[in-house]
Each structure stands twice: as C-alpha cells, then as structure tokens.
Structure 1
Amino acid sequence: MRAGLVVHPGSGSGAAARVADTVAARLRPVVDELHVGTGPASGLDLLVVLGGDGAVHHAVRYCAAHGVPLGLLPAGNGNDLARALDLPLDPLGALEVLLTALREGRRRRLDLGSAGDAWFATVLCAGFDAAVARRAHALRWPRGPRRYDVAVLAELARFRSHPVAVRTEHERFELDATLVAVGNTAYYGGGIPICPSARPDDGLFDVTLVGRASRANLVRLLPKLRAGAHLRHPAVRTLRAREVRIEGIGGTALPLVVDGEPLPAGPVTVRCVPGALTVVA
C-alpha cells in the first residue's frame, strides 16, 4: 500500500503540526510506503489527512476525483465530518481507529454532494449561514466555535432574507428564505446539527429551509440550532431529495458555502452521488 499523509500544520492552532511526527511513525509499520507532505503525491492507494475541515474538504475532492480511499485524522476547530462519522475528535484517538481499520481491512462507502465540479461531504448552505461561514472563514480571532459566534453577531447587523426558488426532483416552490442548508451529513459550523437526521449513506440529502424571519426571531432561533431544536420553529421546513437547485429570484446572488469553504455566489444545483467516497474506518 502506497499511502500519503497530508499535514496542514496550522490546523487547530498548530495541533496538526504537534502530532504529525507521531502519526507518521505509527503509520509507517502498517503501510508499504508513506509520503508525508502538505499535498497528495501521485499514485496513492490511501490518502490520510491530518487537519481541520478545510483540509478535509480538499482531501475529499481529491479522493473522489481519483478513487482513492480517505483516512481522517481531525485536528481542527470544527471537525464536522469526523463528528458525523462518530470518529474521535482528537487526531491520536482517530489514529487508533484508522490503524485498526487498516489492519482489519475495513472500509466504509459514503455519499457525497456534487455542486458542479465541487464535491462536498457535509453541508452546502446558502443565505445567512453561508454569509456567516464566509465571515468566520476570514476571521483570525477568536479560535474555535467562538469565531462562528462572532461571525453571527457581525452578520446579524446586515441581515435580510432573500427571495429564493428551490427545486427538487419532486417539487418546486418559492419563498423568502433566511437560509437553505443541503445536508449530506448533519453538522456544520463546528457541531451545529442543521440537518439533524442526515445520513451520509442513504442516497438522499436532508434539506433545512428557514423562511422569512425578523432579526429578533432569528436571534431567538439561533440558540436552538446548537441543540437541534430548530426544526420545531414555524419558519423552518424540511425535505429530502436526491437533487436540489437553489436560485435567487430577481437577480439575487446568494452567498454559498460547502464544507465551510466559499463557492462563487449564484444559483447552484447539487446532486447526491451514492458511494462516491471510500473512508478507512
């Protein structure tokens, strides 16, 4: 087995860099060849990523495009894919799971979302939550989940809903939307279960839509998100679909984010691709 270990040393305020040598030393005895770097080598049979959600997103795209299995060692502030897969949220704990899976030959096939040429493993979001994620991505302080909270407060000041058309293989409707979240898995934003019932192996997206809400109502709704209690709010609607198109009405260009990474604003069509990713776990 020719394996690559991709290390993002800045992830988790340096957490990835601190354990990189230990991870490499533990991996070498169970693979035939190990390449360590900040990007994947060619001709790999396994790609192990040691980093945060951004690093995982890029590793997922590489693995899906090249048919390479993924090993996941979360070392960031969010770790949303690892959380969805019930992996330990520290890199050395996840390493033990990975080593056991390698020795026993265990693999898991996961669905992925496809948005044009962009693959995603967790959630695509449009609207308010995408604007928050973009701002959080740009912030350098504070670290961890509090960065998301700061971004929320900043975006509330400029908040407004957007007229949006949503189309699935079953229906089409229009609404004034605060946010639209298309979940292959449940979590985004460092553990917020925006699509609580989403599973990455059922061939379907879970979609959460939040309609028109005043700034005051949104402030009251946001704490419910972290508890997964937002689905009972009257402004919230959920559905399941294999394909979803989201388009602003009247020339509105919606901000978009996948796996916490910004996409160009505008209309987007996303498709669930069953079994598109193999994870060693």
Structure 2
Amino acid sequence: MTNSEDRIRTVVMLTNPAAGHGNAPHAAERAAARFQQRGVDVVQIVGRDAAHAAALVQDALAREVKGRPVDALVVAGGDGVISLGWQAVAGTSIPLGIVPAGTGNDHAREFGLPTGDPEAAVDAVVDGVATTIDLGHFRGDDGTERWFGTVMATGFDSLVSDRVNRMRWPHGRMRYNLAILAEFGRLRPLAFTLDLGDGRTVEQDATLVAFGNTRTYGGGMRITPGADRGDGLLDVTVVAATSRTRLVRFFPRLFTGTHIDLDDVATYRARSVRVECAGINAYADGELIGPLPGVVSAIPGAGRIIGGSAARA
C-alpha cells in the first residue's frame, strides 16, 4: 500500500506460541517492534487454544483502534495459525499478512514471503499491496465448513496426521517420522469416489488424493505442481494404490513435482469435487478440516493477502 491515504496504520496480530518449536513468540515480539517503528498500531492476540484465539480475533477485527478500523490481520507462526487467519478473513475485505515462523511455511514459499526475518516480513506487509486470491473451501456432510489456502490432503498423509495427533511422545519432527513409519506398515488401498462436478466420476483404490489451491504442502512437497491460486480451479492429484516399495520411490519425487509423470498418478482440474472415502479425515494448512465425505471447492477471490513477491505492486 504505497498511497499515503491507503497505507497500513492498524493491524491485529495473532501468534501461535507453539509454532516453529516455540520460536513464534520471539518472532512476534520482533514483528510488533518493527510495526511500531513503522508507525503502525498493533493489537496482539495469543489465545488459550484455537477456539479462544478465533473468538479474540473476531472481536478485535470488529473494533476500532484509535478511531480507525483494522487495516489487516497479521499472523505470526506457521501454516496452522495461518489457517485460523483464513477462517477469520475469508470472504471479507480484510487482507492477511504473514510473519513466517513455522516449520513447513508453505504459504511463505508460495507467496515469496521473507522467512527467518520478522522485520523484513513486516516491511513486506507495510509496503505491499493487497492481492486477491482464490481459497479452498471444504463443506463436510456433517456440517463442517473450513477455508484453506494451500492443499487439502486425504488418504495416507491424512492418516499420518491422525496418528500424530494421537501421539503424546516424542515431540517435534520425530513424532511425525514415527507416525509415517507406523502408517507405512499399515499401508492399504483406500476406496475413493470423486465426483468432479462436470459429469466425470473417478472410482479408484488410491493411496492418497490431494486437492491443491497452491502447489506445495508438508514443507515444500510439490504435490499439485500445476496449481494456480488465481484460476478458480483445484488441481487434484490421485496416487493409485501401490506397494510399499513403489511408495518409497515415489516420495522423493514429490519435492520436484515429477511424480505426476508416473503411470500410477492421475491429475485433474475441477471447480468443485465431492470426495468420499470411508474412515478418512481431511487436513489442510496443517490442520484437521473434518471427516469425509464432503465437497471441496475453489472459491475465486475469497482471500486477500498482503506482502511478498506475489502481492507486490
């Protein structure tokens, strides 16, 4: 926002104290100090849990600060706290700013945001322009509704996330690694049905199915390498049921996006997809979205993001 009348003057900043192995509070302190140096008023929020944080954010966004409405919601942390941010601002005119302080940082990667440098991230917000983007949206048959910015995962990777959430030890990345090994040992075909909304139906035993608004998840895995957050479409990657040996060979190719060239990988594009698979939960932006079945869609122009190379004048 380079016009003096449109410049950022007031932000609400939400922090996840657990993000980045506890580094987020320090990053938030540095960010708050930088905002103040740039003449921006900051309302800082740290919730007891996700529900409490969401309530505090909604209340703060509805209030004026020094007689002015809030210009932006800024989140300090990883993709999980960004998910909370999207729930608050999706479908509104309030842009989301990001101070990356997580471990995966897939939003930061997608939008060219500075990582490891809270001051630079703040400058990107203050000096940037807000750009409109698509968001993903999931509506479960159980009534669940959630927005997401990156990729919705179902199948093997969501089973891993289920197991991680059940584990209390160890902490950090090792818990995730152990969950992968445990689910790898239980690898089985999963019966998916995808209604792509245009007369196409896919019924297939699969290892995983991913729905991408952007290209990466899991800290840089290019699961939907052709996804475009501005085309009004989801990119869908279906990995057919496969053996453990082939799956081991498959995963390294996720980081280059070359997995889509394999015979047992199919890709589709659709505005909306009804997805069914018994016993499977959906995850997106590092968070539990809800159980299948449900409908996942790309909603054009539902989000606004400020800062980074994708949102610069």
Deviation track 1:119-172 (CA, whole Å, cap 9, x = no partner) reads: 01011111111112333455554535x654433212111111111111112311
Instruction: Check if 1:238 corresponds to 2:246.
Output: no
Cα shift at 1:199: 1.8
Q: Which residue of 1 aligns with 2:235?
A: 206
Q: Give the whole-Å Cα distance in 1 for the aligned partners of 2:79 and 2:246.
A: 30
Once superposed, what is the RMSD of the aligned Cα atoms?
A: 2.0
Which residue in the other structure is 2:154 paired with? 126
> 59-68 or 43-52, which moves further after superposition?
59-68
Change in CA separation of 1:114 and 1:31 when aligned onto 2, cut-off 3 Å:
farther
Of 240, 251, 272 in structure 2, the residue corresponding to residue 222 of structure 1 is 251
Letter in 2 for 1:190: G
1:84 aligned residue: 110
Counterpart of 1:16?
24
Instruction: Verify: 1:42 aligned to 2:78, yes or no.
Output: no
2:84 is matched with: 58
In the alignment, what sits opposite 1:4? Answer: 12
Cα distance in 2, alignment partners of residues 69 and 155 from structure 1:
38
Identify the range of structure 1 (55-64 vs 7-16) with the bigger mean alpha-carbon deviation. Answer: 7-16
CA offsets 1:73-108 (integer angstroms, 9 cap, x no match): 11011111111112222242xx425424523x5111
Query: Offset of 1:26 from its aligned partner?
Result: 0.8
Q: 1:32 to 1:52 in 2, by over 3 A?
A: closer
- Alignment length (residue pairs): 274
Tell me the TM-score normalized by structure 1: 0.90
Residue-by-residue CA offset, 1:194-253 (whole Å, 9 max, x unaligned)? 1111121121111100112122221221222223221122110011111111112xxx23
Question: SS of 2:291's equivalent?
Answer: coil
Aligned counterparts, 1:259-278, within 5 A: 259-278=285-304
SS in 2 for 1:76: coil
Report if the CA contact (8 A) 2:124-2:306 is conserved.
no
Secondary structure of the residue aligned to 1:221 is helix
1:20 Cα shift? 2.2
Between 31-40 and 82-91, the greater mean CA deviation after superposition: 31-40
Q: 2:221 aligns to what?
A: 192
| 1:65 to partner: Cα distance | 5.1
Q: TM-score, normalised by structure 2?
A: 0.81
Would the alpha carbon gap of residues 138 and 228 (structure 1) be closer, same or farther in structure 2, given more than 3 Å must change?
farther
Identify the match of residue 191 of structure 2 among 148, 158, 163. 163
The secondary structure found in structure 2 opposite 1:42 is helix
Name the aligned partner's letter for residue 2 of structure 1: T
The aligned counterpart of 1:115 is 138
